[in-house]
Chain A
Amino acid sequence: MIEIRNLTKRFAQHTAVDDLSFRIQQGEVLGFLGPNGAGKSTTMKMLTGFLAPTSGTASILGFDIQKDTLKAQQQIGYLPEGAPCYGDMRVRGFLEFIAEVRGFRGAERKRRVEQAVAQVELEKVLDQSIETLSKGFKRRVGLAQAILHDPRVLILDEPTDGLDPNQKHQVRKLISSIAADKIVIISTHILEEVTAICSRAVVIGSGKLLADGTPLELEARSRYHQAVTLVGEGLDESALSALNGVAGIERNEREHSLTVLAQPGAVIYPQVGELIASRGWAVSELNVERGRLDEVFRTLTRGEVV
């Protein structure tokens, strides 16, 4: 378990992380969301022992990050933002260095490096120096270094930032495949990623906790939750808006569609369906939305960053 208690970090000018408290249980994949400058990276830097908190503390599997820094760090695999590495080293040499730091020697060292290399598919570039690698490969080297000792806690700061869609998919697959029985914290801007791999989402803004729940719960906060989007001929807006539980109607000019919004807690799909059937509208497309995470994100963090 990771326990964050009243964690606060002040820099000279501003408060980056402001009295943050929450717990993360074994097996959870936590998506850490927030606009740029919200304090995500600063929080991660404190959890990994890079920065000392101004006040408050956190513990990693029972090890306090300030008193038992080394023991806490032994539990963690960390991918810092931008995946910094030693550019002049070769991939193999770099991973061997990490393996030695993690306490592996001889055959065990070799096995660990091989395993990590296979997991992120680095075989082709093993003998290249890291600075000559493409962005995607560099990120994978960073990931390999983080997972090499099979840590119980994995902290990844924007692991898919700057990768192409195929690489993103690959990284997500990797994270999902190793996440069992671990605690994984992922910071990201990409909201689809949260829905795809996270079991829990925490939104922060200006260093404060804004929302905490499963991706589904967050989506349910959206005004598009349970909204019905229709594409068709001769739709009667006034009839739709008169239906029970309808909060309003949005017209999307570009897609030539109508979105019928539901009042909070209401389910409007049956009514809309009946109306379509009774009026005999030619509806070519009909979608019930779960909610839009990006819209929830904007609502939560609006005005937080100027």
Chain B
Amino acid sequence: MKQLPVVFKRELGSYFATPLAYVFMVIFLVLAGVFTFYLGSFYERGQADLTAFFSFHPWLYLFLVPAIAMRLWAEERKSGSIELLMTLPITRAEAVLGKFVAAWVFAGLTLLLTFPMVITVNYLGEPDNGAIVTGYIGSWLLAGGYLAIGSCMSALAKNQVIAFILAVTMCFVFIVSGFPMLLDSLSGWAPQALVDAIASLSFLTRFEAISKGVIDLRDLLYFVTLIAAWLAATAIVIDLKKAD
């Protein structure tokens, strides 16, 4: 893992090489605000917490995180630079992880820029700041899960737009798998174990648990496993597809 920081540095730098990163950050911050104050009725709820803020993150990330992830590998393959990267003395794992962590840190930086929300809520009342911290951790883990999926989809497609659409679709599947609608339609005929298994795959239930202020080891393990599995899939896909 000696080369991981080198890959990470280049990748993170490349986000800021174009105005795209700043545009993305602004869009995220504006949308997060709109969702919190209008859709989430932040003031009307009259409670000093950030539930209204965090509860929209799974939906906000559904479109924004695949936008960060889509270029990770698709661009390398399109421009042919993947041949350069893969013939440098860098292991597959270093490349996959370095790129993923760069995207994750970028998402984390963007998330941190929502700090005025924390100030606002502390000014207005006396919130449980512990719950806010776990909310941020949960949100970042959630972004990591989306990013790992996006990384794999980006490795699958040479075209960034296709990578984006694939990632949105796959992330959506991982959100709705916890929806009562879907689970109810299954529970009539499918064995309970399967219904539980599908429900346990969902981002939503895990994220909600963490953002309420409870960090359960199982939820943490869920995100770590999910990320690791999708990154392993990324490495395999790259091996299969790099020569195309």
List residues of chain A with CB under 8 Å of any chain B CB.
Answer: 45, 48-51, 70-71, 73-74, 76, 78, 80, 82, 84-89, 93, 97-98, 100-102, 129, 145
Contact = CB atoms under 8 A, between A and B. Distances in A.
Contacts of A85: 79, 81, 84
Interface in B223-244: 242-243
A127 to B, nearest CB: 13
Contact of A98 (B9, B13, B80, B88): B88
A277 B3 CA distance: 73
A86 B99 CA distance: 14
B80 A97 contact: no
B89 A89 contact: no
12 contacts: A45-B83, A70-B91, A73-B87, A84-B84, A87-B79, A93-B13, A97-B9, A100-B6, A100-B9, A101-B6, A101-B89, A129-B17
B17, B18, B88, B242 interface centre (most CB from chain A within 10 Å): B88
Q: On chain B, which size bracket covers the interface?
A: 20 to 34
A88 B14 contact: yes
Interface string B98-138: 00000000000000000000000000000000000000000
Interface in B8-46: 9-10, 13-14, 17-18
Nearest to B239: A52
A100 B17 CA distance: 19
Contacts of B13: 89, 93
Contact of B79 (A73, A78, A84): A84
A49 B87 contact: yes
Contact of B18 (A48, A73, A84, A88): A88
A51 B243 CA distance: 7
Nearest to B71: A88
Nearest to A72: B89
Given A73-B89, A101-B6, A82 B80 contact: yes
B183 interface: no
Given A89-B17, A97-B10, A84 B80 contact: yes
Contacts of B9: 97, 100
Contact of A78 (B10, B17, B81, B87): B87
B173 interface: no
Nearest to B92: A69
B6 A76 contact: no
Nearest to A131: B79
B60 interface: no
Contacts of B80: 80, 82, 84
Contacts of A71: 89
Nearest to B3: A101
A82 B9 CA distance: 25
B81 A86 contact: yes
Contacts of A78: 84, 87
B90 interface: yes
